[in-house]
Structure 1
Amino acid sequence: MSAEPDSPGASRGRGPRLEIEINRQGGAWQPETEEAVLRAAQAAFEAALTFPETDWPAAAREAELSVLLADDSFVHSLNRKFRGKDKPTNVLSFPVPRMAAQPLISLGDIVLGFETVTREAVEQGKDLEAHVQHLVVHGLLHLLDYDHMNDEEAEVMEEYERRILETLGLADPYAGGQAPAAMREQGEEA
């Protein structure tokens, strides 16, 4: 699935534009998940361009993103191959090095693991689509060079996640007591 200019996943008018391609590689993902992914990715892209720490070329207001909705087996293989972690995880982010001369900048890829994402949503008492949106926002911020390797970075990234999710009408995903260190220990992205 790809977002067209008038679809929920692409911005209209003169604002930032994010082309989003969604593919599947296993998992029992539902069609509404794709709409949730499109909304979350566009909201994160538009908001992140306004954050002072975002290292983004001023003239570049168009980008593309690939999202893969996969099963845990596939995510496990990627996590093992690229991160040396022999287990599935919820989200992986694979940034593409930026080339200044590109008219349409590729941000990279976000991969979601169905079974892990579903299990986490149940364990945390969250709506699956809301959890997916949080993970897409989290993954996209990684593609824009945000990280949570220490508490200071984690606080900045989590604050931006909260702001973006609020624009989507979603609650603070960290309100349940998940500390910054807990997210870092999960090691969900590459």
Structure 2
Amino acid sequence: MGVQILMSAIQNYVKEASKKLSDTGKRTGLMVKLGEQESYIVPIFETFVVNRAITNFEITGEVIAKYFRRLGQQEGGMRSSGPKITEKLRKARNKLVYVALDPDKEPARIKEKNASIERSGMGTIIRESHYMASEGIFKPGLVGKDCEALDEAIISVLSLCEVNFRRGLCNNIMIYGSAVLRGLSERLQFEIQKKFQGKVEVNVSSL
């Protein structure tokens, strides 16, 4: 039964990823889905799916939403809504949560930004939870997950593909799904490019 479920899931992953790639008019792409309840990576080279490299990723939209709620409660700006992920919480996540290019420098940046907002009286004050909630994508330990970060998972998937496929896949990494947050494509491209030390051109885009 477990194998049948796994095979069924893989077929669904491939079907969705292939359609997403086809809709862009391209034949090669590393397709990264970040959904509410499941996330995965599917490499496709010249319409050929590298099935052995298809990988699940443990960080989903629900994981990010739960962490966002916990951080918001610690800040005192969010009431408990029970264990369930409500539509209100999803909307708040999609509106407020973003991915910082450099999380170490983000506190100074938002301090300056918030000062400007307070002076003008226009805009929404940025809280630490707004960018830290997404850091589980790159630091899974923050959300209690013992798995690779997304950039590391992508590198692992590439290592399972034929050598002559890898450059083409790196040139077209596409991310899609409800958990694709503002700034994710830029951060992901930065992290992967850093790991390749500029030896391979990396392009990440959001669908």
TM-score, normalized by length of structure 1?
A: 0.31
Larger Rg: 2
Larger strand percent: 1
Larger helix percent: 2
